[in-house]
Structure 1
Amino acid sequence: MNPAVDTQETSERAALTPGANSFTEGQAKAAIEKQGYVVSGPLTQDDQGIWKGQAARSGGEPTTVSVDYKGVVTPN
């Protein structure tokens, strides 16, 4: 089963939707990278189905980013 193809970025954590996540780690990483981030380590999935990991945009400071099951990418 393929997860949603469209990804979007939001700056509000509340926009993330907890739920059963059908993304693999690789697909979550691809969603983050599609938003212009470079992932700098492994991603982990929390108990709400949200993938999290460290990433940065070009020239930017590393930050934690999250991806929900809808493909919404959020910097924390």
Structure 2
Amino acid sequence: MKIVAAISTFFLSFMMTGCGEETKSTVWWSEHIEQAKEKDSECKKSGDDTDNCRNAREAVFRYEQAHAPLPKFGDLLNEVPDK
């Protein structure tokens, strides 16, 4: 009977650890940026700091940096301040 209980306990603990979320790389999140934005938002709301949350946040950050608008300085270089 002890063997059946031990096997059942092992089987149940094995099944419960298999229920976790698969960790995706930053590259995967970068290739699926909309899902990364959703995951990042979800993580901010829940306060989670899992590997997926960190990888999605990094992918969103890199995307925003790569697509940031260039600053426009207009005619600042042509203007000479009065002395």
| Coarse TM-score class (shorter-chain normalised) | under 0.3
Which has more helix, going by share of residues? 2
Q: Which has the higher contact order (CA 8 A, sep 6+)?
A: 1
Q: Structure 1-normalised TM-score?
A: 0.25
Q: Which is greater in Rg?
A: 2
Q: Structure 2-normalised TM-score?
A: 0.24
